[in-house]
Amino acid sequence: MFVALALLIGIASYLMWRAVWPSPPDLMDQCDDRRSTRDSIPIVVVGVLASDTLVRKPVPMHSDPKYPLQLRKLIVRVENVLRGAPIPETITVYYFTWAGGFDGPQPLGFWKVGGRRILWLRRDSGVLRTACDGWDYCTKFVGTGAHPHYTPDPRKPIDFALVDLLFTRGEGTVNENGFGTELDEVTDQVQGLQAYSIEKLRHLAQAEHGYIRSCACRTLWVYTVDHPIDPAIHRDADKALHEADCRCTTKPDGSEECQ
C-alpha cells in the first residue's frame, strides 16, 4: 500500500514538474530553407520581446551535423497582428541560431530584450517558431514606438503595413536613430510602393526634425536620382523635396547630406 501511494505521489510530482517545465518541442532547424517568401508566411505580428532564453545547446545542424546551433525561446507581448489572427496577447516563439562562430549577415538573436520587432512566424509541432533560422531575414526592428490602434488593410500586401509602421511616429519611447536609419532600409525592400512611400516621407520631412527629418529628406533625394525608376516617381520625389524644403548637398567624399 505504501509503495503504491509513493508511486502515485511520484507520478503526481512528475506531472506537476512537466507542467511547469515542459520538454522542448521536437523542432528541426531550417537554416538552409529559403523557400518561404514574405507573402507566403502565415503569421506576422508586431511585439515587444519580453525575454529570450536558451532552451538547448549544442544542437547539430541537420544539413551539417558538425556545425552547432542553439535552440532559444522568445516570450513576446503582441501589440499588432498583421496576419494570422487570432493570436494571444503573449506568445512563446522558438528559433535556432548559431552556437559557434559565424560569418555573414545579421543572425537571429541580435536584438535587445524590451525591443520591438515585426516577426514572421509559422506553427510547427504545436508551437510557434520564426519563419527562418540562423540568419535573420524574418524579423525586423521597429524604432517608431507602439501603434496600438493600427490595423492593416487585409486587401493589401504586407509591405504596405511595413511602410505604415516604420514611416509613422507611434506612441511611447521612440528610438530616434533606429527610426531614421530604417527609412533607407525599408525603402530598398518595398519594391513597387515608391509612390506610397514618398507621401509618407514627405510628411516625415515636414513634421519631424533633426536626424529623422534628415533621413527622410535623403531618402526622397535618392528617389530623384535612382535608376532605373519610373519617371513619375522621380517627379513625385522631387516635388516632395521642394514641398518639405529639403536641402541636400554633396559632401567632398561623395555622400549626400540633407537638412
What is the residue-averaged pLDDT of the chain?
87
Is it the case that residue 41 has pLDDT exceeding 50?
yes
Distance between CA 157 and CA 155 in Å, rounded?
7
Assess if residue 8 is contained within a domain. Answer: no
Cα dihedral 94/46/159/239 (nearest 10): -140
How much is the pLDDT for 188? Answer: 66
pLDDT given at position 105: 84
* Helix axes 176-189 and 194-207, enclosed angle (nearest 10): 160
Is 153 within the bounds of a domain? yes
Residues 91, 200, single domain; the answer is no
In angstroms, the CA 121 to CA 136 distance is: 12
* pTM of the full structure: 0.86
Domain that holds residue 92: 25-141
Whether the predicted pLDDT of 56 surpasses 60: yes
Residue 163's H or E segment, with its range, is helix 158-166
Mean pLDDT of 6-26: 49
Taking residues 15-29, report their average pLDDT: 61
Residues 184 and 256 in one domain: yes
Residue 20 pLDDT exceeds 50: no
In a domain, 19, yes or no: no
Residues 132 and 29 in one domain: yes
Q: What is the CATH number of the domain that holds 85?
A: 2.40.50
The answer to whether position 15 is within a domain reads no
In this structure, what are the phi and psi dihedrals at residue 15, rounded to the nearest 5 degrees?
-65, -40
Q: How many domains does the chain have?
A: 2
User: Does residue 157 sit in the same domain as residue 107?
Assistant: no
Q: Which of 141, 168, 200 is the last residue of a domain?
A: 141
Calpha distance 147→189 (Å, rounded) = 21
As a whole-number percent, the residues of the chain with pLDDT over 90 amount to 67
- Give the confidence band of 139 by pLDDT, cuts at 50, 70, 90: very high
CA angle at 151 for the pair 148 and 164, rounded to the nearest 5° = 85
Domain boundary among 141, 165, 193: 141
Cα separation, 28 vs 138, in Å, equals 17
Is 17 inside any structural domain? no
Which amino acid, 146?
Answer: A
Choose the final residue of a domain: 115, 141, 167: 141
Q: Are residues 212 and 162 in the same domain?
A: yes
Whole-number Å distance between alpha carbons of 154 and 85 = 11
Please state whether beta strands 139-141 and 127-130 pair in parallel, antiparallel, or not at all (unpaired).
unpaired
Q: Which three cell numbers stand for residue 247?
A: 536641402
| Close Cβ partners of 140 (under 8 Å, ≥ 6 residues apart) | 117, 118, 162, 166
More reliable by pLDDT, 252 or 240: 240
Position 237 in a domain: yes
